[in-house]
Amino acid sequence: MEKAPVQFLTITADFAGQRIDNFLMARLKGVPKTHIYRILRKGEVRVNKKRAKPSYKLQDGDYIRLPPLQIEPENVLPRPGNQLMQCLENRILYEDNGLLIINKPSGIPVHGGSSVKLGVVEALRCMYPKLTQLELVHRLDLDTSGCLILAKKRSVLRELHELLRARHVEKIYWTLTKGHWKEAELTVDVPLLKNQLTSGERIVHVHAEGKPSVTHFRTLHEYSKTSLMEATLETGRTHQIRVHAKHRGHPVAGDEKYGDRELNKQLRETGLRRMFLHAYLIRFTLPSSGQEISVTAPLDVELSECLDAL
């Protein structure tokens, strides 16, 4: 077990307003969450020479003393392999001083969890150790590919979160769905309720007590038994496109949770072995700079080859 020495930190404006428990969990990789709360509770973490509760919100200029910490080896994140690092590097779509936008690969989680310790954000932090504040701005499902935004600075992260809350971020997805859509089906405005099973799996369904959820679909191309659709989100609920498409009777191709088993089987003959859901475009304007950022992610080869086969 490795032991880290006493640390002294000075809080900059980028971290002002963040809860100290969240700040420490993001900074102290390899230190269990329970231990972080224990040292806060015992007063071993000092802010300006005083105790601080977990809910304390950091201020610009705060001076923090951290006690010696035990870092458990099993909690240290594994280093990403060369193949994964090369893949992510090749999929960078946009980068500036405050932002990184990548074409997320299907099958890789955006962040690590209990079953998979290494996700996109952890891999990128290993690749770019100088980006000490790199954080996910939003999430994509495991099997969804396409535009994923990460912030390099906490100020940019706050700005983008505010844009997302105000629904000022345009997000357009491309998806292959079962059957052909009628004009009256294209706007889906039904509430979604999220449940979590004891296994930790999340299941979402249409329910009157759920959160308001709106998706606008548009037909891009019709094939004999399927349609390539554009989906624009007004809200960003978990599994929204997948559940709204299923609700209309047009489940997403390759979706093992909400999809059509027979359709998925037929499409495997075209080489489609993943869910056909792709975050095609993301567009927003940063208020601090007035810069409009519009990024598109090309379809992965597997998706393009599926459409060619159809």
The single-letter code of the amino acid at 1 is: M
Q: For the stretch 65-91, what's the b/e string if a residue is b when 16 or more beta carbons lie within 10 angstroms of its beta carbon?
A: ebeebebeeeeeeeebeeebeebbeeb
Residue 141 is among the residues annotated as catalytic for this protein: yes
Which pair of structure tokens corresponds to residue 227? 């349609």
Q: How far apart are CA 156 and CA 30, in angstroms?
A: 26
Computed on alpha carbons and rounded to an integer, the radius of gyration of the chain in Å comes to 22
Q: How far apart are CA 195 and CA 183, in angstroms?
A: 31
Which pair of structure tokens corresponds to residue 212? 């308001």
Catalytic residue among 62, 141, 255, 300: 141
Q: How far apart are CA 280 and CA 84, in angstroms?
A: 22
HSE toward the beta carbon, residue 13, CA cutoff 13 A? 2
Residue with tokens 């037929």: 266
Angle among Cα 294, 298, 303 to the nearest 5 degrees reads 145
Which pair of structure tokens corresponds to residue 9? 């930190």
Chain centre to alpha carbon of residue 237: 12
Which pair of structure tokens corresponds to residue 202? 């999340």
Q: Could you say which DSSP state residue 262 is in?
A: H
Which pair of structure tokens corresponds to residue 308? 């060619």
45, 39 contact by CB (below 8 A): yes
Q: What are the C-alpha distances in Å from 306 to residues 105, 114, 175, 258?
A: 17, 33, 12, 20
Active site members: 141
